[in-house]
Amino acid sequence: MDWYQTLFELIDMRSFSNLWFWIVLAVVWSTTSHYGIGVPFDMVLRAKRHGGQTETDLEDLVRINTNRIMFIANMSGLWIAGFACFFLTILGLLGFVYGNEFAQSLILLGFPLSIVGLLSISTARLIQQEDARGEHLRKRLMRHRLYTQIIGMVSIFVTALWGMYQNLNVGPFGG
């Protein structure tokens, strides 16, 4: 028995039975829901409680991030969308047509994140069009966070169901 076989028996390299995949999934969705359009949610809460300079800081950070998001979307949005669709299609085919578990895990992580990306562009566009400030801006950011959390909960639920199905279907030793 060589050391490759020993290593792969010791550390399960399949995605859905690997603890690291679930840790990454939790960290990704926690971070994504905390940083809506690049603005930390604690900053939104602090601006709501204290107002004044913290409100101005929030508005400045939102203005900087929305300008950046809209610049990227306007200049190279079609290219990014094309490449994203290409890679998601490749992952979907590899994962669900050819049965590659790693590709399945990446599509179950990447597809919902692409929806959050589109939501971020939509929110940034609305903030710019409305010239949102103060309470209206905070409500818009809270709504964005709520939608992101809903997408994350559905994503984690579907991923957990698919992962349990894969683990029960394949078995503990990949047979």
Q: Quick one: tokens of 33? A: 């829901």
- From the list 168, 52, 73, the residue with the least C-alpha distance to 120 is 73
pLDDT of residue 15: 77
- From the list 111, 89, 93, 103, the residue with the least C-alpha distance to 158 is 111
Tokens 């929030």, located at residue: 58
Mean pLDDT across the stretch 20-32?
A: 93
List, in order, residues 6 or more apart from 35 with CB less than 8 Å away: 41
Which DSSP string corresponds to 154-171?
HHHHHHHHHHHHHHHHH-
pLDDT of residue 12: 59
Q: Per-residue b/e over 21-39, b at no fewer than 16 CB within 10 Å? A: bbeebeebbeebbebbbeb
Element (H, E) at 115: helix 101-130
pLDDT at 7 over 90: no
> In the chain, pLDDT over 70 holds for what percent of residues?
91
On average, the pLDDT of the chain sits at 90
pLDDT of residue 73: 96
Beta bridge partners of 36: 39
pLDDT at 43 over 90: yes
pLDDT at 39 over 80: yes
The string of pLDDT tens digits covering residues 113-148 is 999 999 999 999 999 999 888 899 999 999 999 999
Q: What are the sequence ranges of the domains in the chain?
A: 74-168
Q: Quick one: tokens of 93? A: 């085919």
The string of pLDDT tens digits covering residues 69-121 is 999 999 999 999 999 999 999 999 999 999 888 999 999 999 999 999 999 99
Alpha carbons 46 and 41: distance in angstroms, whole number: 9
Who wins on pLDDT, 59 or 14?
Answer: 59
